[in-house]
Amino acid sequence: MDNDKLQQTLRKLNWEARHWKRTRGRQTENAFLTDIDHLDPDFAKALMDRGIETGALLDIGTGSGNQAIQFATLGFDVTATDIARIGVVDAIENAIATGVAIRFLEDDITRTALTETFDVIADRGCYTLLPEETLPAYVTSVARLMRPDSFLLLKVDRKKKGRVDQLLERLTLVETWESTYPLESEPLKASFFVLRINHP
């Protein structure tokens, strides 16, 4: 096994463990990824402000699938991915329970197997949590998966908002605002970005 493949496997196992602990209340680290039962208001605002009501949408790092379910309920054709298989299984069960049709896939966005393109890509925390050395691969993958005039809607821990600079090599910043991740204890400061693909 080459080193890249080994690192990918270790990341996957780490996410499997984190997801299992988080969904069972045994881990509060990175708790902003804990699923909320409604569409994150920042994503709702970004879509509403641009009049985006339908289209192909990719939800990266879907976790238990609650945000993907909200997007599908609005009328989007949703593909939702997560590196953790246990997360994908939970997400499928949750989608079945709510009666919405979503394509869930186990996938590592830094080495994605996806080939189709999307009108909207949503990321509520994946980019924040990726190891620094994998960010260029994320940027390459996301840019390849975006259709002309499509949008990346990105929410990050405010302490890591500087990571967005790497995305600006391929994308244009349209709008940004300060926000929070709602937590039971106290809100975690976040930054939200609306970015558009640069196509020649």
Q: Could you read off the pLDDT of 168-193 as tens digits, one per residue?
A: 999 999 999 999 987 766 778 999 99
Q: Across the strands, what pairs with 77?
A: 56
**C-beta of residue 65 within 8 angstroms of C-beta of residue 92:** yes
* Three-state SS at 154: strand
User: What pTM value is reported for the model?
Assistant: 0.85
What does the longest C-alpha to C-alpha distance in the chain come to?
48
Strands across the sheet containing 171-181: 103-106, 77-82, 56-60, 118-123, 146-157, 188-197, 171-181
Burial string for 44-69 (b: 16+ CB within 10 Å, else e) reads ebbbeeeebeebbbbbbbbbbbbbbb
The tally of CA atoms less than 13 A away on the side-chain side of residue 112 is 23
The dihedral region occupied by 65, where left means phi > 0, alpha psi between -120 and 50, and beta the remainder, is left
Residue of higher predicted confidence among 36 and 90: 90
**C-beta of residue 107 within 8 angstroms of C-beta of residue 113:** yes
pLDDT digits (tens, 9 = 90+) for 76-118: 999 999 988 888 888 999 999 999 999 999 999 999 999 999 9
Paired tokens of 61: 């790092």
Q: Is the pLDDT of residue 24 over 60?
A: no
- Pick the closest to residue 151 from 198, 83, 101, 103 (CA basis): 198
- Using CA atoms, how far apart are residues 200 and 187, in angstroms rounded to an integer? 40
